[in-house]
Amino acid sequence: MGATLASPLTELAGVGPALATKLERLGLFRVEDLLFLLPMRYEDRTQLVRLGAMQLGQRCLVTGEVQLAETVYRGRRNLLVRISDGTGQATLRFFHFSKQQQAQFRPGVHVTCFGEVRKGPVGLEMVHPEYRILRDNQDPAVNDSLTAIYPATEGVQQGRLRRLTDQALQCMRRSPPTELLPAVIRQELDLPELAEAIEYLHRPPADADTAAIVAGRHPCQVRLAFEELLAHYLSLRNLRALAQNQRAAALTGGDDEVRAFVSSLPFTLTGAQQRVVGELLADMGEPHPMMRLVQGDVGSGKTVVAAIACLKAIGSGQQAAVMAPTELLAEQHWRNFCDWLQPLGIQPAWLSGSQKAAERRASLAAIADGSAGLAVGTHALFQEGVQFRNLALVVIDEQHRFGVQQRLALREKGIAGSDYPHQLVMTATPIPRTLAMAAYADLDTSIIDELPPGRQPVQTVALPETRRDEVIDRVRSACESGQQAYWVCPLIEESDVLDFEAAEVSYEMLSRALPDIRVGLVHGRMRPAEKELGMRAFKDGTIQLLVATTVIEVGVDVPNASLMIIENAERMGLSQLHQLRGRVGRGAAQSHCVLLYKPPLGQRSRSRLAVLRDTNDGFVVAQRDLELRGPGELLGTRQTGLPDYRIADLGRDAHLMPQVQKAAETIRRDAPDIGPAIVRRWLGDAGRYGKV
């Protein structure tokens, strides 16, 4: 009967256990998996190029008669084969060859070659081309479709991958995969059927629109990307539906505590904060877990909103936990919560990976026996050995720095009997709506879209580093007038050492240039206690100028700081620059941000920095960042966060999300059996995040 799409790869001709193990590195286990291993690019072997018409850098198929073959020694042994077709000639160069190969290239023999055209010592040449010796009177063969180039793994050549995908395509023609997208959805979006799209993308015809394929805009690519995005979206919505069916403590107490806290604040909550608080408290009063994302631009007051939610839980006789991605941010949250809640008789517990053993034991005991109504910390909160008495609310700050698995691990900590905790995740990285639909479809969304009254927009200017002396004078003037300043040295390369050295060099330079200014230094290689000491000194005003790495990107709140200098700004993403800029502008004084760059600026860098000059709106900045750099940088995929997509690209395909959402609603309403099958096809039996 032969292999089917569901068969293991070992049922294909030429696949033994050793090759199957290598293919697993590419995520290939079953025959069907080969259908979804799409080519990275294509080569055109559908037509012969005359030797006289070859272009430098071109990858092309040529044919010619061997004129001369000789072995030469120029530092290493070379086999040089000169071929001609009457319009011109070229040299084939081989560094690795056998006597048998050398003997094949007899003068008068005709050969067909494919390779990249390079410049050689005596004209154009191809180095180690693919070649075929033609028999007498044999015409050179050309392909009838473009040649696919697949993602490679060690020990699996392109030719073998093409032969395997040929077998998989034959299986598909005998028994096509089930068409899971309803016809009404395909017709509405003008999408081809699945089998047609797969066949086209693996073996595009000679007249294929290669520009559309390279850009990822061909209807066949859109067809597959759409279904993959739909699978991930359905999976997240399944998590959401699962939460709706789970039980949570309905938090109905705490109103007195919340009122006392709000009235004690030295400011009035903005309308946006009041609206979001109302959404949170309504969710927490329900007997199923809240799963809500709160987005708010830098300085919009998310932490106060989180404190109110925590008070609601504590006032209802339950516990709350607040988790932040860095010790610096977690410590700041802990100090803020202590300042706010201690007057109400609530002592938050602190938990981090670096605290002393005795402190840790005391915190663990207070969390376990419930005497700590609130626990604040880093990812140490969800590690083994941390037991809560009755955790009813989990708050996660800067959600994009954590993986979904980590978020769910803390949620599992809170299960008391059959009750799950409510969950609030926050981010100061505004997320464009289409991207949020893909990344956070399991969460309801609230947006704090209003800054506190009196906040003045930060004025931003971009200057070449050749004007560094002017900038130093500006820092001197700001500090002498009683203001404070940041001087940020971003990570230039992926190296803690270089990051640290850059900050040290700037610190030494500024200390010499500004002998009357108190200069401090904070970087990621310091011990947490040293960092805390430096930040505390800056906050207290004993340090006037703080030289720092991007460790101060989130959470640091010093209202007296009104000047931000960022070095090498052209190397950083817009959203990160916006986050850093948000460290100033928190007081009454007009604040400024200076983006120092290394000239000359390319057009792309120039347009990026112009975005920051022109707007302080984080959503505008984030949308532009998404267009320029993609979702990985914006959502922190480098740390964790989003899954890898096989075909879809969120930066390129985010515009499909409204239609994906609409299609998911249609399927859930009219064809509920189809959804799980789509999820299984793209994510496997475990779904997106395993059993939750």
Q: How far apart are CA 454 and CA 586, in angstroms?
A: 9
Domain boundary among 169, 186, 208: 208
Full DSSP string of 396-422: ESSGGGS-HHHHHHHHHHT-BTTBPPE
Do residue 155 and residue 105 come from a single domain?
no
Report pLDDT for 407. Answer: 59
Q: Are residues 160 and 16 in the same domain?
A: yes
358 and 486 fall within a common domain? no
Grade residue 692 by pLDDT with cuts at 50, 70 and 90: very low
Domain encompassing residue 343: 255-448
Q: How many domains does the chain have?
A: 4
pLDDT tens for residues 200-235?
Answer: 999 999 888 877 887 888 999 999 999 999 999 998
Q: In the chain, what percentage of residues exceed pLDDT 90?
A: 53
**170 inside domain:** yes
The residue among 400, 431, 408, 430 whose CA lies nearest residue 657 is 431
Give a yes or no: residue 345 inside a domain.
yes
pLDDT at 645 over 60: yes
- Judge whether residue 192 has pLDDT over 50: yes
Same domain, 272 and 419: yes
Are 396 and 502 part of one and the same domain? Answer: no
* pTM given for the model: 0.72
- Does 576 lie in the same domain as 466? yes
Among 123, 142, 161, which residue terminates a domain?
142
**Mean pLDDT, to the nearest integer, of 558-580?**
88
Angstrom distance (rounded) from CA 217 to CA 208: 13
The C-alpha atoms of residue 411 and residue 414 are separated, in whole angstroms, by 6
CA distances from residue 404 to 126, 329, 408, 679 in whole angstroms, order as listed:
49, 20, 6, 17
Distance CA 34, CA 161 (A): 9
The predicted model gives 73-77 an average pLDDT of 84
Last residue of a domain, one of 175, 191, 208: 208
Q: Assess if residue 653 is contained within a domain.
A: no
pLDDT digits (tens, 9 = 90+) for 329-360: 788 889 889 999 999 999 999 998 878 899 99
> Are both 102 and 134 inside the same structural domain?
yes
In a domain, residue 225? The reply is no
CATH number (domain holding residue 414): 3.40.50.300
Q: Which residue has the tokens 């993403």?
A: 573
C-alpha 201, offset from chain centre: 26
pLDDT value of residue 492: 45
- Confidence at residue 691, expressed as pLDDT on a 0 to 100 scale: 36
- Give the pLDDT confidence score for residue 638 in this predicted structure: 38
- Residue 122 within any structural domain of the chain: yes
Both 497 and 577 in a single domain? yes
Are 229 and 657 in contact by the 8 Å Cβ rule? The answer is: yes
683, part of any domain: no
Determine, yes or no, domain membership for 628: no
Within this chain, do residues 412 and 560 fall inside the same structural domain, yes or no? no
Quote the tokens at residue 584: 């100033």
Residue 436 sits in the same domain as residue 318: yes
> Are 303 and 441 in a shared domain?
yes
The answer to whether the beta carbons of residues 426 and 302 sit under 8 Å apart is yes
Mean pLDDT on 614-621: 86
Beta-carbon contacts of residue 501 (< 8 Å; ≥ 6 apart)? none
Residues 6+ apart with CB under 8 A from 489: 499, 502, 503, 506, 547, 548, 549, 567, 568
Residue 631 lies in a domain: no
**Looking at residues 185-191, what average pLDDT do you find?**
93
Complete DSSP assignment for 182-230: -HHHHHHHT---HHHHHHHHHS-BTT--HHHHHTT-SHHHHHHHHHHHH
- Residues 362-398 as b/e (b if ≥16 CB within 10 A, e otherwise) read ebbebbeeeebbbbbbbbbbbeeebebebbbbbbbbb
Phi-psi domain of 254 (left: phi exceeds 0; alpha: psi -120 through 50; beta: other): left
Domain shared by 182 and 108, yes or no: no
Main-chain phi, psi angles of 8, to 5 degrees: -65, 155
507: its two tokens: 């610190």
Cα pseudo-dihedral 634, 353, 521, 335, rounded to 10: 90
